[in-house]
Amino acid sequence: MVKFNARGLMPPVFTPLNDDYTVNYAAITPYATFLAKNGIKSVLVGGTTGEHMSLSVSERKKLIDKWVEVGKTHGFHIMVQVGGAPLADVLDLAKYCSKAGVDSLLTLPELYFKPQSVSDLVFYVELVAKAAPNLPVLYYHIPSMSKVEVNMPAFVKEASNIISNFKGIKFTSNDLSEAAQVLRVLKDDQEMFLGADSLLAPAALLGIKSAIGTTFNLFPTLAQDILNAVEKADVVQARALQEKLSLAVEAHTPEGPWVPIMKAGMEIVTGIKVGPPALPQLPISEEAKKRIETKLKALKIIN
Amino acid sequence: MVKFNARGLMPPVFTPLNDDYTVNYAAITPYATFLAKNGIKSVLVGGTTGEHMSLSVSERKKLIDKWVEVGKTHGFHIMVQVGGAPLADVLDLAKYCSKAGVDSLLTLPELYFKPQSVSDLVFYVELVAKAAPNLPVLYYHIPSMSKVEVNMPAFVKEASNIISNFKGIKFTSNDLSEAAQVLRVLKDDQEMFLGADSLLAPAALLGIKSAIGTTFNLFPTLAQDILNAVEKADVVQARALQEKLSLAVEAHTPEGPWVPIMKAGMEIVTGIKVGPPALPQLPISEEAKKRIETKLKALKIIN
Amino acid sequence: MVKFNARGLMPPVFTPLNDDYTVNYAAITPYATFLAKNGIKSVLVGGTTGEHMSLSVSERKKLIDKWVEVGKTHGFHIMVQVGGAPLADVLDLAKYCSKAGVDSLLTLPELYFKPQSVSDLVFYVELVAKAAPNLPVLYYHIPSMSKVEVNMPAFVKEASNIISNFKGIKFTSNDLSEAAQVLRVLKDDQEMFLGADSLLAPAALLGIKSAIGTTFNLFPTLAQDILNAVEKADVVQARALQEKLSLAVEAHTPEGPWVPIMKAGMEIVTGIKVGPPALPQLPISEEAKKRIETKLKALKIIN
Amino acid sequence: MVKFNARGLMPPVFTPLNDDYTVNYAAITPYATFLAKNGIKSVLVGGTTGEHMSLSVSERKKLIDKWVEVGKTHGFHIMVQVGGAPLADVLDLAKYCSKAGVDSLLTLPELYFKPQSVSDLVFYVELVAKAAPNLPVLYYHIPSMSKVEVNMPAFVKEASNIISNFKGIKFTSNDLSEAAQVLRVLKDDQEMFLGADSLLAPAALLGIKSAIGTTFNLFPTLAQDILNAVEKADVVQARALQEKLSLAVEAHTPEGPWVPIMKAGMEIVTGIKVGPPALPQLPISEEAKKRIETKLKALKIIN
């Protein structure tokens, strides 16, 4: 019986690149140390933030191996997102993960022959889950990118019935009403990870305590402080801290697409060089970085 | 200088109909008394719940007069939604309201020649605002119905610059991240009314304390209790009460479109007969009403 | 038994406005004469081009009366579009038309409580059809504006079964594949009017010979020449003439929304003053008009 | 200077699979012979019909090699679609094709980090084009699947300016108005291939004479006869033949998604076994195949 025990805040890790777009594997060790020092206990490898949808299978496997190797030294739970590629490759990656020391899988839906119904989507996730039957498998709901708009409460109910190692979802949407409905149908050993950094506090009020958010790379303690404030019923503090995180995000958003601005922000805030985004995405300009830095200083988020 | 002082929970009132689809004006007096007895201080006349988008201008005017007359006896703030009709009629209604004792206006966007930009939408709301320059005017954001998807923080900023009696928005969307951004750009005498009954508690945590929600007709004290719990930082209670309200809503939603199910629910929960929805909407079946009733009893929301 | 015999090219007439936005009823007589002299046999009053979705019911009735009065002198078939307003007003207009000498009705779908299915839409059109049981009633399919995306072949089949005076549709979409499917399910006394001026020739090849297009106001003989070329199997000529009409349209499209550019074009091409669009739409600039004129001269469409 | 000379009807070839989902390479030789005997001069390998978006890079390379090898014996122009995978793999495939004897490339847009503008899309296609600078490169516009909705006339203009080996597009959309606009901006050595089998005749009337359509596998001579009828200005015959092809397609469409129904149809019509669709797509039922067969017989398309 497959167990799934990752809970709480999980940063989706960036894939550090050199300026020539090769993967900077050496950067992963200090990056992981930074996260561990800031209280992080689990990471997602290969999410949107990690841009594995732009990489080859062999690069993805090397990154998985590196994160397993480095992550183990910190006791991290390693979740790997295997989707965002042709199904043959997704299944290959799932099988690889089942033997590579990975702790759990996450999968996007099919991106081309898109599922049109709950049962289409369950069938796809089932194929992935059967390729790694020893691992917990979660579904990555991110309709803004995948353009797959299946109703999540209905999907979770059906997937739980049919797939024995189905253990939850990443819910990347601002619709907390739907998220609350998912929460109600989850079983004990399943979990929903919110992917909406500006809604951590209100989600926590609804009982949603796990999240996967890019900003946990930049502000890992701030995100945790938000959850703690809600836990202690300090509503005023929760609101103030959420406002701080949300404003930090909004300092970035006018400057470009999500991964390019967040990779820039990571270097500005933490000094860790994660390099340019993987092609076909492009880095933001130096002027844009300056504007972000100026705003973050004005918000006293950095010095 | 136009002042706008409505705050808190405002039910959008149903338009009571007889079985022959004529308006049941006589039902308004006891309905208003019921709301007043349950602590309600303001009402929205002519919203989605009131179905004025299905009525003629003359019926709308009579309903406005009736609600002003009856509402005054309870000291209600009367907000009237004037949109959802050809612009000539919207302007006629706005002018009528400016002299009819109405306290504030709300307007949908143009439904046919839809605004494509912030400035298109500001221009429309400005036309309405100029037709009632003595009244506070708010914009009704409900993209699920209007299919107008203008960015609200940008709209509010621009409308506030250009329209002197622009006093806020009704925000009918589950995207609390965008709502929080609106909140940041509102001025002191402006207000945002959330239109998402299943998100009252999380919104309140973010500082959103006003709302216009159909369920305040059915459960006026429950909604207020949710806000009070957040105000008192009783997170556990806020979550439990929100869950109760959300489950009450979900007892209805599988049975049909919003207004038909809510009109049915109003009779089941309060005994007040609001009749069938206005054509072209149709009432739900007796079997569907029974299912709602059974679920509400199981939830101990009704006896 | 209701008969419907309008066929061929039908211009949707502009509503001439004065500069103060009042209706210029006097302009209708010479306008109708211009159309009649150019071979037009039928007109649509109150379509998108006529902007009745922006007008009051009383203005719409006066316009209907005027077009019936003037149109009769030319033997025009008068089709009136009655939708685009609250249902109460739509039904009032339909009843009015049934006694006003109008020859057929066209109706948009409900714009706010939008139909979600074929049966919802059939129910709405049935309500309109019953309000004018002596008139042929057609449905106005224009998903780009109405955001109602019901499958037309399925709708036409079902509406034909249920509504005895249902006589066809206006199909305003560039999807000729769906149009061809509609054509297959139409009965003898039903008709589909294409609303896609740049596709007259290819549609005619598929057997679609009726159309309602704004440009028939500007270029009534050119549009007829296109149909004649296809009828005579002169493919080379059909292509050349269609290209001419399409390029004439594209001379306008960069300058703004459809009705404002077409009202400007009407004056440029024919000299008939139809004035500004009805609010909330705005006229295009003088510079934009100049650019259109320059392009039309370069195309030798005007001198 | 790269030359591109494929014109006319090009079937996108199915990927024959065995019942265990392995590729049936042996089936390609007789399949190519069938196409050649029916007058086909060029094929697209790896399109939607070929389901390469579900296959691994190594399988795709083997399929490319096999089609080059077999296709050469028939003098086929071999176009290969390289997109629908992470960019690293797309570039790898493009480089491979540049040395493998392939004649031209087609590429989907990025499926995950979707282009938001003309320039985003030009940048992506430019990356692919630079990876195979000796080959003509075309863009695969199929918004129904890719959910990338960039304006094609604007894209083609910009791509032609920037990418020296950009040679056209496959236009899989029913909007012949936009297609006609593309046609106007194409240069002499560029081509647009329509991907809308039910619109071959009307497109030909507009001057669109090349197409890539799944049904050219099933009915290669019928499709050619349609083009010939338009060429000879036999409008009546063109309409009748188009109607025949469209009805043949509609015999399939109620039974499932495009590739599963077309793979079934291929076996029913030609007897060539192309097997089940690649996972995650599923074959249609035997009952569905029977219904298709019955309809095709009733249409006298098969005996």
pLDDT at B1 over 90: no
Strands (E), chain A: 9-10, 42-45, 77-81, 104-107, 137-141, 166-171, 191-194, 211-212
Residue B115's pLDDT is: 98
Residues of chain A neighbouring B205 (CB-CB closer than 8 A): 201-202, 205, 230, 235, 238-239, 242
Residue of B nearest to A235 (CA): B233
Measure the CA dihedral C38/C42/C48/C51, to 10°. 90
Q: Is A229 on the interface with B (CB under 8 A)?
A: no
SS3 D78: strand
B49 has binding-site annotation: yes
What value does the mean pLDDT of chain C take?
Answer: 98
What value does the mean pLDDT of chain D take?
Answer: 98
Peptide bond into B280 cis (omega under 30): yes
Q: Choose the mutation target among C176, C236, C243 for the interface with D, i.e. most D CBs under 10 Å.
A: C176
Q: ∠ at Cα B247 (B246, B251), nearest 5°?
A: 120
Residue A285's pLDDT is: 98
B267 phi, psi to nearest 5 deg: -70, -40
Please write the tens of the pLDDT for every residue from B136-166: 999 999 999 999 999 999 999 999 999 999 9
Give ipTM to 2 decimals.
0.97
Residue A300's pLDDT is: 94
Q: Verify whether the Cβ–Cβ distance B177 to A246 is below 8 Å.
A: yes
Q: Verify whether the Cβ–Cβ distance A85 to D89 is below 8 Å.
A: yes
A66 is catalytic: no
Mean pLDDT of C63-73: 98
**At what angle are helices B87-99 and B57-73 packed, to 10 degrees?**
30
Alpha helix (H) ranges present in A100-170? Answer: 118-131, 143-146, 152-162
B113 phi, psi to nearest 5 deg: -85, 70
DSSP tag of A101: T
What is the C-alpha separation between A101 and A68, in angstroms, rounded? 6
Residue A1's pLDDT is: 85
- Sheet with D191-194: list strands edge to edge: D9-10, D211-212, D191-194, D166-171, D137-141, D104-107, D77-81, D42-45
Q: Verify whether the Cβ–Cβ distance B280 to C87 is below 8 Å.
A: yes
Neighbours of D233 (CB within 10 A): 16
What is the C-alpha separation between C260 and C272, in angstroms, rounded? 15
Which residues, given as ranges, of chain A have pLDDT below 50? none
Q: Verify whether the Cβ–Cβ distance D113 to A53 is below 8 Å.
A: yes
What is the C-alpha separation between D30 and D293, in angstroms, rounded? 23
For domain B9-220, give its CATH number from 2.30.30.830, 3.90.245.10, 3.40.50.300, 3.20.20.70.
3.20.20.70
Q: How many residues does chain C have?
A: 303
What is the C-alpha separation between D112 and A278, in angstroms, rounded? 12
The active-site residue out of C66, C167, C170, C263 is C170
How many Cα atoms within 13 Å fall on the side-chain side of residue B273? 9
Contact partners, residue C188, CB within 8 Å, separation at least 6:
none
User: Beta partners for A9?
Assistant: A211
End-to-end CA distance of chain A: 49
Mean pLDDT of C71-99: 98
Closest listed residue to residue A294, CA positions, set A284, A282, A303, A281: A303
| Chains touching C (3+ CB pairs < 8 Å) | B, D
Percent of chain B with pLDDT over 70: 100
Please write the tens of the pLDDT for every residue from B112-138: 999 999 999 999 999 999 999 999 999
Exposure string over B2-17, b if 16+ CB within 10 A, otherwise e: bebebebbbbbbbbbb
DSSP tag of D263: H
Cα Rg of chain C, angstroms: 18
pLDDT at D277 over 90: yes
Mean pLDDT of D276-301: 97
| Chains touching D (3+ CB pairs < 8 Å) | A, C
What is the C-alpha separation between B205 and A230, in angstroms, rounded? 9
Q: Is D58 on the interface with C (CB under 8 A)?
A: no
Kindly list the distances between the CA atom of residue C13 and the CA atoms of B32, C27, D71, in Å, as whole numbers in the listed order: 47, 12, 57
Q: Give the pair of three-digit tokens for residue D274.
A: 């192309």
pLDDT at B171 over 90: yes
What is the C-alpha separation between B261 and B302, in angstroms, rounded? 16
Residue C5's pLDDT is: 94
User: Beta partners for B168?
Assistant: B138, B191
Q: Å from B30 to nearest chain C CA?
A: 26
Residues of chain D neighbouring C207 (CB-CB closer than 8 A): 239
Q: Are D16 and D273 in contact (CB under 8 A)?
A: yes
Measure the CA dihedral B223/B225/B226/B229, to 10°. 170
- Residue B16's identity, in one-letter code, is P
The pLDDT-based confidence of C1 (bands split at 50, 70, 90) is confident
Q: How far is CA C207 from the centre of its chain?
A: 19
Contact partners, residue B219, CB within 8 Å, separation at least 6:
B245, B248, B269, B301
Closest listed residue to residue C46, CA positions, set C10, C69, C14: C14
Residues of chain B neighbouring A233 (CB-CB closer than 8 A): 233-236
The pLDDT-based confidence of D1 (bands split at 50, 70, 90) is confident
Q: Do chains B and A touch (3 or more CB pairs under 8 A)?
A: yes
Please write the tens of the pLDDT for every residue from B8-18: 999 999 999 99
Measure the CA dihedral D60/D63/D68/D71, to 10°. -140
Kindly list the distances between the CA atom of residue C23 and the CA atoms of C16, C20, C271, in Å, as whole numbers in the listed order: 6, 9, 18
pLDDT at C263 over 90: yes
How many Cα atoms within 13 Å fall on the side-chain side of residue C149? 4
Please write the tens of the pLDDT for every residue from C207-220: 999 999 999 999 99
What is the C-alpha separation between A287 and B3, in angstroms, rounded? 42
Q: Give the pair of three-digit tokens for residue C107.
A: 């109706």
D212 has binding-site annotation: yes
Q: What would the 3-class secondary structure string for chain B be?
A: CCCCCCCCEECECCCCECCCCCECHHHHHHHHHHHHHCCCCEEEECCCCCCHHHCCHHHHHHHHHHHHHHHHHCCCEEEEECCCCCHHHHHHHHHHHHHCCCCEEEECCCCCCCCCCHHHHHHHHHHHHHHCCCCCEEEEECHHHHCCCCCHHHHHHHHHHHCCCEEEEEECCCEHHHHHHHHHHCCCCCEEEECCHHHHHHHHHCCCCCEECCHHHHCHHHHHHHHHHHHCCCHHHHHHHHHHHHHHHHHHHHHCCHHHHHHHHHHHHHCCCCCCCCCCCCCCCHHHHHHHHHHHHHCCCCC
Mean pLDDT of B47-74: 98
Residue B22's pLDDT is: 97
Q: Å from D64 to nearest chain A CA?
A: 17
Closest listed residue to residue A221, CA positions, set A71, A8, A49, A45: A8
Closest listed residue to residue C26, CA positions, set C14, C37, C17: C17
Residues of chain A neighbouring B230 (CB-CB closer than 8 A): 205, 235
Burial class (CB in 10 A: 0-12, 13-18, 19+), D286: exposed
What is the C-alpha separation between A111 and B29, in angstroms, rounded? 56
Closest listed residue to residue B97, CA positions, set B138, B154, B155, B54: B138
Residues of chain B neighbouring C145 (CB-CB closer than 8 A): 112-114
What is the C-alpha separation between A69 and A71, in angstroms, rounded? 6
What value does the mean pLDDT of chain B take?
Answer: 98
A95 is catalytic: no
Burial class (CB in 10 A: 0-12, 13-18, 19+), D161: exposed
The pLDDT-based confidence of C224 (bands split at 50, 70, 90) is very high
